[in-house]
Amino acid sequence: MMKNVLLGTVAVLLIGVAMYRFFRGKAEDAPPSGGLTFVCSRCNLKFEVTYAEWDRITNDRRLFKVPDQHTKTLLIKCPKCNDFTAHKYEEPEPPPPEGATPPPQ
Protein backbone atom coordinates (compact mmCIF):
# COMPACT_ATOMS: atom_id res chain seq x y z
CA MET A 1 0.00 0.00 0.00
CA MET A 2 2.74 2.44 0.98
CA LYS A 3 4.65 1.52 -2.16
CA ASN A 4 1.71 2.49 -4.37
CA VAL A 5 1.43 5.89 -2.71
CA LEU A 6 5.14 6.47 -3.24
CA LEU A 7 4.91 5.48 -6.92
CA GLY A 8 1.94 7.78 -7.35
CA THR A 9 3.86 10.68 -5.80
CA VAL A 10 6.83 10.08 -8.10
CA ALA A 11 4.54 9.98 -11.14
CA VAL A 12 2.88 13.27 -10.17
CA LEU A 13 6.30 14.86 -9.64
CA LEU A 14 7.53 13.68 -13.04
CA ILE A 15 4.42 15.02 -14.78
CA GLY A 16 4.88 18.32 -12.94
CA VAL A 17 8.48 18.62 -14.09
CA ALA A 18 7.52 17.74 -17.68
CA MET A 19 4.76 20.36 -17.70
CA TYR A 20 7.04 22.96 -16.15
CA ARG A 21 9.68 22.34 -18.83
CA PHE A 22 7.04 22.43 -21.55
CA PHE A 23 5.64 25.80 -20.51
CA ARG A 24 9.02 27.28 -19.70
CA GLY A 25 10.28 26.24 -23.15
CA LYS A 26 7.30 27.95 -24.75
CA ALA A 27 7.99 31.19 -22.92
CA GLU A 28 11.62 31.17 -24.05
CA ASP A 29 10.59 30.76 -27.69
CA ALA A 30 8.60 34.00 -27.62
CA PRO A 31 10.15 36.81 -29.68
CA PRO A 32 12.00 39.44 -27.67
CA SER A 33 9.77 42.33 -26.76
CA GLY A 34 10.63 46.00 -26.70
CA GLY A 35 13.10 47.24 -29.27
CA LEU A 36 16.68 48.34 -29.75
CA THR A 37 18.80 49.93 -27.07
CA PHE A 38 20.81 53.03 -27.93
CA VAL A 39 23.40 54.82 -25.85
CA CYS A 40 24.54 58.42 -26.19
CA SER A 41 28.30 58.89 -26.39
CA ARG A 42 28.02 62.38 -24.94
CA CYS A 43 25.73 62.03 -21.92
CA ASN A 44 25.71 58.21 -21.67
CA LEU A 45 21.93 58.16 -21.72
CA LYS A 46 20.54 54.75 -22.57
CA PHE A 47 17.18 54.71 -24.28
CA GLU A 48 15.03 52.27 -26.18
CA VAL A 49 13.83 52.62 -29.74
CA THR A 50 10.91 50.42 -30.73
CA TYR A 51 11.14 48.45 -33.96
CA ALA A 52 8.40 50.61 -35.49
CA GLU A 53 10.33 53.77 -34.59
CA TRP A 54 13.56 52.24 -35.89
CA ASP A 55 11.85 51.55 -39.24
CA ARG A 56 10.71 55.16 -39.40
CA ILE A 57 14.19 56.47 -38.55
CA THR A 58 16.05 54.34 -41.10
CA ASN A 59 13.60 55.38 -43.80
CA ASP A 60 14.22 59.08 -43.25
CA ARG A 61 17.68 60.43 -44.04
CA ARG A 62 17.07 63.41 -41.74
CA LEU A 63 16.65 61.19 -38.69
CA PHE A 64 20.04 59.46 -38.71
CA LYS A 65 23.66 60.04 -39.65
CA VAL A 66 26.39 57.73 -40.89
CA PRO A 67 29.58 59.62 -40.06
CA ASP A 68 31.92 56.71 -40.79
CA GLN A 69 31.36 54.96 -44.11
CA HIS A 70 33.84 52.22 -43.18
CA THR A 71 32.26 51.00 -39.97
CA LYS A 72 28.76 52.08 -41.06
CA THR A 73 28.10 53.32 -37.56
CA LEU A 74 24.64 54.75 -37.49
CA LEU A 75 23.99 57.67 -35.17
CA ILE A 76 20.55 58.81 -34.14
CA LYS A 77 19.40 61.78 -32.09
CA CYS A 78 19.82 61.57 -28.34
CA PRO A 79 16.57 62.78 -26.74
CA LYS A 80 18.59 64.69 -24.12
CA CYS A 81 21.35 66.30 -26.21
CA ASN A 82 19.10 66.64 -29.28
CA ASP A 83 22.11 65.81 -31.41
CA PHE A 84 23.29 62.82 -33.46
CA THR A 85 25.34 61.31 -30.67
CA ALA A 86 23.56 58.03 -29.91
CA HIS A 87 24.66 54.72 -31.34
CA LYS A 88 23.33 51.20 -30.99
CA TYR A 89 24.21 49.69 -27.66
CA GLU A 90 25.72 46.23 -27.99
CA GLU A 91 25.69 43.91 -25.03
CA PRO A 92 29.14 42.38 -24.64
CA GLU A 93 28.84 38.99 -26.26
CA PRO A 94 31.08 35.96 -25.88
CA PRO A 95 33.13 35.32 -29.04
CA PRO A 96 31.56 32.79 -31.42
CA PRO A 97 33.00 29.27 -31.40
CA GLU A 98 35.90 28.56 -33.75
CA GLY A 99 34.81 27.97 -37.33
CA ALA A 100 31.30 29.32 -36.82
CA THR A 101 29.92 31.57 -39.52
CA PRO A 102 29.60 35.17 -38.32
CA PRO A 103 26.03 36.39 -37.95
CA PRO A 104 24.82 38.71 -40.73
CA GLN A 105 25.18 42.36 -39.83
Residues forming the site for Zn ion (CB under 5 A): 40, 42-43, 45, 78, 80-81
Torsion of CA 100, 102, 104, 105, to 10 degrees: 160
Kindly tell me which of 49 and 78 has the beta carbon lying closer to Zn ion: 78
Kindly tell me which of 43 and 74 has the beta carbon lying closer to Zn ion: 43
Residue closest to 36 by CA, chosen among 53, 18, 21, 11: 53
- What are the helix (H) ranges across the chain? 2-29, 51-58
Kindly tell me which of 46 and 56 has the beta carbon lying closer to Zn ion: 46
Least gap, CB of 42 to Zn ion (angstroms): 5
Least gap, CB of 36 to Zn ion (angstroms): 16
Least gap, CB of 78 to Zn ion (angstroms): 3
